[in-house]
């Protein structure tokens, strides 16, 4: 929960928006009313969104990851540089060079170039250079320091990005969205809050408004870093807590194992219910036997014609017996003709 009160936000002028003709319709849920052609931001919703942003920022800081702060407008430049240095987080206040996140390897090369010049001064190789080379290197170092000096310690892409005025820093926002980096931003009535993951509806032009919100974000970051130090100093507290949770989780498992024992009774009923099935099977088997007995006459009917078959054979034998008699008659007639 944020320590900011409604009155503190009101005194800082956080509620002032832009002119009506400059408004973005997506900001309608965060606008309280219109007064003298200027939209007034609902500070109750601002407090809710500050709490959400604080919780998320605290968790990121607790995990040991970096949050990149981007504010290149005149009103916010000095405030962000001053406040964020104390928290030891990277920030960009001069110019957002295109591809700082999407082409991160190239930005790392520029940072390495800057560190190599510093190393030359410490090694003693700087004295071997002539006057012209020294002048060229110093100018190059100043130019790199201006754009990349604040992100020299950022060895990898940030875990999140905090932007002041998303209309001015639209390139930084587009790069963060492309890389799926969580975005926090101060959103005024002339910008679209749907483009930001954690929008904070507030006046992004007044220095007091920017300072009061940046202070609150820095406070949550310091809390997260302190909790991280405590966990490193006392790792036993982190380990003992999960043990207690596991013992609690084991108790329901024991209950779940006992529960099926009560359900054993229905099995006996199921066995009892199976007995009618056997009776039904017996009843079904009885008609089968009847059907077998009924099939017996069919078998007898089939056997009857089988017995008549030998009678036909007997007829065939008689026919064979008559053939020799015919032969004898023919031979007798042939002998008479010869005589």
Tens-place pLDDT, residues 16-65:
888 888 888 999 999 888 888 889 999 999 999 999 999 999 999 999 89
pLDDT bracket for residue 336 (50, 70, 90): low
Q: Which of 72-86, 98-112, 205-219, 252-266 has the lowest mean pLDDT?
A: 252-266
Domain co-membership, 171 together with 223: yes
The DSSP symbol for 94 reads S
Domain co-membership, 168 together with 288: no
Q: Is the CB of residue 182 less than 8 Å from the CB of residue 66?
A: no
Q: How far apart are CA 259 and CA 77, in angstroms?
A: 65
Q: Assess if residue 188 is contained within a domain.
A: yes
pLDDT at 95: 87
pLDDT at 329: 52
Q: Is the CB of residue 145 less than 8 Å from the CB of residue 118?
A: no
Q: Do strands 67-70 and 198-201 pair parallel, antiparallel, or not at all (unpaired)?
A: unpaired
pTM over 0.75: no
Q: Do strands 183-187 and 160-164 pair parallel, antiparallel, or not at all (unpaired)?
A: parallel
First to last CA, the chain: 155
pLDDT at 243: 38
Read off the CATH number of the domain in which 172 is found: 3.40.50.10490
What's phi and psi for 39, nearest 5 deg? -80, 140
Domain co-membership, 171 together with 88: yes
Instruction: Indicate if the pLDDT at residue 253 is higher than 60.
Output: no
Domain co-membership, 24 together with 169: yes
Q: Which residue has the higher pLDDT, 135 or 323?
A: 135
pLDDT bracket for residue 2 (50, 70, 90): low
CA–CA distances in Å: residue 14 to residues 180, 267, 294: 29, 71, 103
Structure tokens at 333: 């007639």
Q: Assess if residue 95 is contained within a domain.
A: yes
| Residue-wise pLDDT tens digits, 256-282 | 444 444 444 443 343 334 444 334 334
Domain co-membership, 290 together with 210: no
Domain co-membership, 190 together with 315: no
Q: Assess if residue 134 is contained within a domain.
A: no
Instruction: Indicate if the pLDDT at residue 306 is higher than 60.
Output: no
Count helices and strands in the chain by DSSP H and E runs:
9, 8
Q: Assess if residue 36 is contained within a domain.
A: yes
Domain co-membership, 65 together with 166: yes
What's phi and psi for 38, nearest 5 deg? -120, 135
pLDDT at 236: 67
- Which domain covers residue 17, as residue numbers? 6-101+157-238
pLDDT at 51: 93
Q: How far apart are CA 147 and CA 159, in angstroms?
A: 20
Domain co-membership, 311 together with 175: no
Q: Assess if residue 145 is contained within a domain.
A: no
Domain co-membership, 221 together with 271: no
pLDDT at 1: 55
Instruction: Indicate if the pLDDT at residue 101 is higher than 50.
Output: yes
**Dihedral of alpha carbons 24, 212, 164, 218, sign:** negative
Task: Please state the domain count of the chain.
Answer: 2
Q: Assess if residue 108 is contained within a domain.
A: no
Domain co-membership, 36 together with 183: yes
């Amino acid at each position: 929960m944020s320590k900011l009160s409604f009155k503190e936000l009101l005194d800082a002028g956080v509620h002032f928006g832009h002119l009506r003709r400059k408004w973005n319709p997506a900001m309608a849920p965060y606008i309280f009313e219109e007064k003298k052609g200027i939209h007034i931001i609902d500070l109750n919703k601002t407090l809710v969104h500050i709490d959400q942003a604080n919780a998320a920022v605290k968790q990121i800081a607790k995990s040991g990851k970096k949050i990149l702060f981007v504010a290149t407008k005149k009103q916010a430049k000095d405030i962000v540089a001053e406040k964020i240095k104390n928290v030891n987080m990277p920030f960009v206040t001069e110019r957002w060079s295109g591809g700082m996140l999407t082409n991160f390897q190239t930005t790392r090369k520029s940072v390495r170039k800057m560190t190599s010049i510093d190393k030359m001064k410490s090694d003693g190789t700087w004295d071997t250079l002539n006057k012209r080379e020294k002048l060229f290197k110093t100018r190059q170092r100043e130019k790199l320091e201006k754009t990349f000096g604040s992100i020299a310690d950022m060895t990898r892409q940030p875990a999140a990005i905090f932007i002041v005025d998303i209309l001015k820093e639209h390139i930084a926002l587009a790069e963060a969205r492309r890389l799926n980096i969580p975005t926090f931003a101060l959103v005024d009535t002339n910008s679209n809050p749907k483009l930001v993951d954690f929008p904070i509806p507030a006046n992004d032009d007044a220095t007091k408004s920017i300072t009061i919100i940046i202070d609150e974000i820095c406070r949550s970051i310091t809390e997260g870093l302190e909790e991280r130090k405590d966990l490193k100093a006392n790792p036993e507290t982190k380990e003992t807590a999960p043990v207690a949770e596991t013992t609690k989780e084991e108790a329901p498992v024991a209950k779940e194992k006992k529960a099926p024992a009560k359900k054993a009774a229905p099995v006996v009923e199921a066995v009892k219910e199976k007995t009618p099935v056997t009776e039904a099977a017996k009843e079904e088997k009885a008609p089968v036997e009847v059907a077998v007995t009924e099939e017996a006459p069919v078998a007898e009917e089939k056997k009857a014609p089988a017995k008549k078959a030998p009678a036909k054979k007997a007829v065939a034998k008689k026919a064979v017996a008559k053939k020799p008699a015919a032969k004898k008659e023919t031979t007798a007639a042939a002998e008479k003709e010869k005589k």
